[in-house]
């Protein structure tokens, strides 16, 4: 039985040994986990995921949009996600690695395909299992699943708004979905407000939203980050430094983020530091590559952004007017 180092033992070592495809049946799962998994291995591999608890609990919109982005945009040749749509739900956690068509390693246990389960936040166990049986279990469920990108998927399972539902999306939860409360966030959800302005009330010209405005370093002028003040750094609101988390925005974008720099004082987009800069320039009506000014923010009507914590892997960012 494996009780420590689950991420390495289950998700990395089989691939380093030559396996190239991972088949997963997981009651709950998160896109942040998949991003972390792919970034941890230099060699190419594929993940085929079935999320099993959808017939009962549905799936949060942030996770759903993240899985769609992975499948259709970021990793279309290396990732697929399917939702179980026929009852009963599957609370299983089964992992089967294959090399080509040959099953090589199998695992089962208590760990969902999530950073919470494969990190240090929870006590989980995994045991080696028969790889053929694990793969067979995945294949038996396939006919009762639908691809996360199917046009009618929202007619088949409940895709709920985590920030408005009154119940926080959790890894391994048994909470029924609460009624949608309309267009306003659930303000009972933990939140922080992060200002784009410095302590003097000015917008920095070479950091924050303007981090890339350093032509002497040949940087992409759109590079940007969101400053995290010391009290928030120490509060535990955001994940630890370098850990991936997904941000759903008020205009329904999904941005992969991480804390970076000294003491995790900055929220960045690890895939490309220009992602946040381009996003905010677009919202502000500022041309790509142009310096963002305080006047741009005032004209838009916001000098800050609010983050709502859904769970350790999912956040909602409000930059609405």
Q: Could you list the residue range(s) of the whole structural domain that residue 234 is in?
A: 191-318
* Confidence at residue 46, expressed as pLDDT on a 0 to 100 scale: 98
Task: Evaluate if residue 243 carries a pLDDT over 60.
Answer: yes
* Domain assignment of residue 107, yes or no: yes
Q: Which two tokens stand for residue 290?
A: 């142009």
Q: What DSSP character marks residue 206? A: S
Tokens of 205: 């010209």
What pLDDT is recorded for position 124?
95
Residue 211 and residue 279 in contact, taking contact as beta carbons nearer than 8 Å: no
The residue behind tokens 């983050």 is 307
The Cα–Cα gap between 232 and 254 comes to: 22
280: left (phi over 0), alpha (psi -120 to 50) or beta: alpha
Q: pTM for the whole thing?
A: 0.86
Give the range among 41-45, 188-192, 203-207, 291-295 with minimum mean pLDDT: 188-192
d(CA 290, CA 135): 52
- For Cα atoms 40, 142, 150, give the angle at the middle one, nearest 5 degrees: 80
Are 144 and 40 in a shared domain? yes
Same domain, 125 and 216: no
Residue-level pLDDT at 102: 97
**Quick one: pLDDT at residue 218?**
87
Residue 123 and residue 61 share a domain: yes
Q: Given 145, 160, 175, which residue is the final one in a domain?
A: 160
pLDDT at 184: 43
Residue 240 belongs to a domain: yes
Residue 79: the pLDDT is: 99
199 with 147, same domain: the answer is no
Of 164, 275, 268, nearest to 222 by C-alpha is 275
Question: Phi then psi for 141, rounded to 5 degrees?
Answer: -85, -20
- Please check whether residue 287 lies inside any domain of the structure: yes
Number of domains forming the structure of the chain: 2
Give the per-residue pLDDT at 271. Answer: 84
Say which DSSP state 183 is in: S
Per-residue confidence (pLDDT) for residue 182, from 0 to 100: 37
**Are residues 152 and 57 located together in one domain of the fold?**
yes
Least confident of 97-101, 192-196, 268-272: 268-272
Distance CA 179, CA 167 (A): 9
Distances (CA, A) of 225 to 84, 133, 269: 37, 46, 8
- Average pLDDT score, the chain: 92
Is residue 146 domain-shared with residue 272, that is, in the same domain?
no
**Interatomic CA distance for residues 174 and 80, integer angstroms:** 26
Q: Rounded mean pLDDT of 303-319?
A: 95
Q: What is the mean pLDDT of residues 112-127?
A: 92
Percentage of the chain with pLDDT > 90?
86
The arithmetic mean of pLDDT across residues 52-75, rounded, is 96
| Domain-ending residue, one of 142, 160, 178 | 160
Q: What is the pLDDT of residues 130-180, one digit of tens each?
A: 999 999 999 999 999 999 999 999 999 999 988 765 444 444 343 333 333
Q: How far apart are CA 138 and CA 142, in angstroms?
A: 7
Which pLDDT tens digit goes with each residue over 191-233? 999 999 999 999 999 999 999 999 898 889 999 999 999 999 9
At residue 57, does pLDDT exceed 90? yes
Task: Specify whether 141 is located in the same domain as 273.
Answer: no
Separation of alpha carbons 44 and 65, rounded Å? 23
Query: Is residue 262, in this structure, part of any structural domain at all?
Result: yes
Region 88-117: mean pLDDT is 97
The arithmetic mean of pLDDT across residues 4-22, rounded, is: 97
User: What is d(CA 39, CA 92) in angstroms, rounded to the nearest whole number?
Assistant: 25
């Amino acid at each position: 039985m494996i009780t420590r180092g689950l991420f390495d033992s289950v998700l990395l070592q089989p691939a380093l040994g030559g396996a190239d495809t991972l088949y997963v049946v997981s009651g709950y799962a998160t896109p942040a986990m998949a991003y972390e998994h792919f970034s941890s291995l230099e060699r190419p591999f594929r993940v085929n995921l079935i999320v099993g608890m959808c017939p009962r609990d549905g799936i949060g919109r942030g996770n759903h949009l993240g899985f769609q982005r992975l499948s259709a945009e970021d990793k279309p040749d290396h990732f697929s996600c399917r939702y179980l749509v026929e009852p009963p739900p599957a609370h299983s956690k089964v992992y089967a690695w294959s090399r080509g068509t040959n099953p090589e390693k199998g695992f089962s246990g208590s760990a969902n395909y999530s950073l919470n389960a494969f990190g240090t936040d929870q006590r989980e166990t995994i045991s080696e299992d028969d790889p053929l049986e694990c793969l067979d279990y995945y294949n038996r469920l396939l006919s009762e699943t639908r691809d996360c990108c199917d046009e009618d998927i929202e007619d088949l399972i409940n895709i709920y708004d985590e920030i408005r539902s009154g119940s926080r999306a959790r890894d391994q939860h048994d909470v029924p979905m609460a009624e949608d409360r309309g267009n306003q966030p659930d303000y009972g959800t933990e939140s922080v407000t992060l200002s784009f302005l410095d302590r003097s009330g000015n917008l920095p010209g070479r950091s924050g939203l303007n981090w890339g405005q350093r032509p002497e370093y040949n940087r992409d002028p759109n590079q940007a980050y969101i400053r995290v003040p010391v009290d928030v750094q120490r509060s535990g609101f955001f994940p630890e430094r370098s850990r991936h988390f997904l941000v759903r925005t008020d205009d329904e974008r999904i941005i992969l983020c991480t804390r970076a720099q000294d003491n995790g004082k900055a929220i960045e987009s690890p895939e490309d530091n220009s992602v946040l800069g381009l996003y905010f320039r677009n919202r502000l009506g500022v041309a790509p590559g142009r310096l963002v000014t305080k006047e741009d923010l005032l004209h838009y009507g916001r000098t800050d952004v609010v983050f709502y914590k859904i769970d350790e892997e999912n956040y909602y960012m409000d930059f609405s007017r």
